[in-house]
Amino acid sequence: MKRKMLVGLGAVLILILAVFSFQGEKAVDSNTTVVLYNSVKIGVIEKTIEVELEGGINSVSLDELAGLDIAEVTIRPLDDGARVLGIFSRGSTGDIYSANVGSEVEVKLRSGDTVTGKFLGIKDGKLAIQGDAYYIINPDEVVYFKAKNLEGASSVYASIQADNAGRYSFDVIYRVSNMSWSSRYKLYIEDTAKLYGYIVIDNPTAQTFEGAKVLLVAGDVQLYQKAFPQPGVIYAKAEEGVVELSEPQKIEAFYLYKLGIVDLNPSSKMAFPYISFEVPFEREYLYESYPYGDGAVYESISFKTEQVLPAGVVEIYRETEDGTLLIGERWIEHTPKDETLRIGIGRDYDLKGSTVILEEEHGDGYAYYKVKVTVENFGEETKTVIVRHYKWGKLLSSSIDPINETVNYVEFKVTLKPGEKKEIVFDYESRW
């Protein structure tokens, strides 16, 4: 008999694919909204559901929420005459593995492989499955364990009081760990700059969200506890075409993007192309300054953005007669429409930059920095350098006027003759 050993490292994440079940009847989803964040790995799911209730107190099963923190679940009645008395979790009578010995299961692994077959139980601390071969699987390698028998899992139910028998609508909101979104760009440099942008949605869970209204939140969302580590995933190409990403809406300290109606597939990454434009560019030199350290100065290109660009990684390609060459990757911050975007594309060894902190103070909700940036030209040509110092806070003063300032960085422009060295001294503060 063929024997396969699948082992690995990581936390066990067991997610059971289930459906909303209400008194023996499948709930009818009339609307699903999925909110994803680029700073924390969680998805906030909001569903409008309909439930058939009897007059009086009803116990309504919410099997899809099993294993979630019920303190993070909200159920709100949308119709008069119904009240949610509480949300409860029943303890399990055993574990999910024991409840499914002898049944057909599907196991997704961190490597991206899927194992299906009859579950034989736990052998020496590992999962034994008889499929097209005999598999011994380390539980640390499991992304999700999908089975029909949920008796071993804890269940969740809501206690709802209805004035009269009938069908009532409710709004259900809950969190799903490990879901997230990010931006990815491809920049092609020839006579012009061609930029292509992709929204990458990561759903490593076993849940499917069909026809979901997807909202993307950009900003630093603070949670009291960290989300679970993200398991391995399978990459999947989304449907062809370009989605229409709306202009972001500023809400509090965050930007909200409306992706539209999307099918979110389980255990996959999906890349949705949403940006494509071609613009002229200028060549410059860019020194990216960080506290305490010498840094490389890069030849860079700059161009005006025709659309809002969420923060993300840019892959840089140079078009040549012999083909397209990948020449590097850079990170860009959130860039508004019609802003000047500068991207370093290759190191210039004739230029050198260094950064030192001259003064530093910290207090309750307060930080102060005084910084000196030095740029030197060891070459034989006069060159203009953009100095971008990454910071958090507001610039107070500087020895030369900045050409641009955001909450995350400030930029200066200096021109250096051969053999020349120039210094920029500035200070800024952060309050929170």
**Euclidean distance between CA atoms 187 and 405, whole angstroms:** 24
Nearest-5° Cα angle at 239, 234 to 241: 135
Query: Which tens digit of pLDDT belongs to each residue from 405-417?
Result: 988 899 999 999 9
pLDDT exceeds 90 at position 168: yes
Identify the band that residue 20 occupies on the pLDDT scale cut at 50, 70 and 90.
very low
**Euclidean distance between CA atoms 229 and 248, whole angstroms:** 28
Identify the band that residue 12 occupies on the pLDDT scale cut at 50, 70 and 90.
very low
What per-residue confidence (pLDDT) applies to 169?
A: 93
pLDDT exceeds 70 at position 4: no
Stretch among 61-65, 264-268, 273-277, 371-375 having the lowest mean pLDDT: 61-65
**Euclidean distance between CA atoms 59 and 84, whole angstroms:** 10
The 10 Å CB-count burial string (b at 16+, else e) for 16-54 is bbbebbbeeeebebeebbbbbbbebbbbbbbbbbbbbbe
pTM over 0.75: no
Q: Which two tokens stand for residue 196?
A: 């292509």
Query: Which tens digit of pLDDT belongs to each residue from 29-57?
Result: 448 899 998 888 888 999 998 999 999 88
More confident site: 261 or 225: 261
Contacting residues for 239 by C-beta, under 8 A, at least 6 apart? none
Q: Which two tokens stand for residue 221?
A: 């969302």
Task: Give the type of residue at 300.
Answer: S
Query: Which tens digit of pLDDT belongs to each residue from 197-218?
Result: 999 998 877 778 888 889 888 7
What per-residue confidence (pLDDT) applies to 24?
A: 29
Starting at the edge strand found earlier in the chain, the sheet holding 82-90 runs 56-61, 155-162, 82-90
pLDDT exceeds 50 at position 310: yes
Report the chain's mean pLDDT, rounded to a whole number. Answer: 79
Contact predicate 272/201, CB 8 Å = yes
Identify the band that residue 98 occupies on the pLDDT scale cut at 50, 70 and 90.
low
Contact predicate 285/299, CB 8 Å = yes
What per-residue confidence (pLDDT) applies to 90?
A: 59
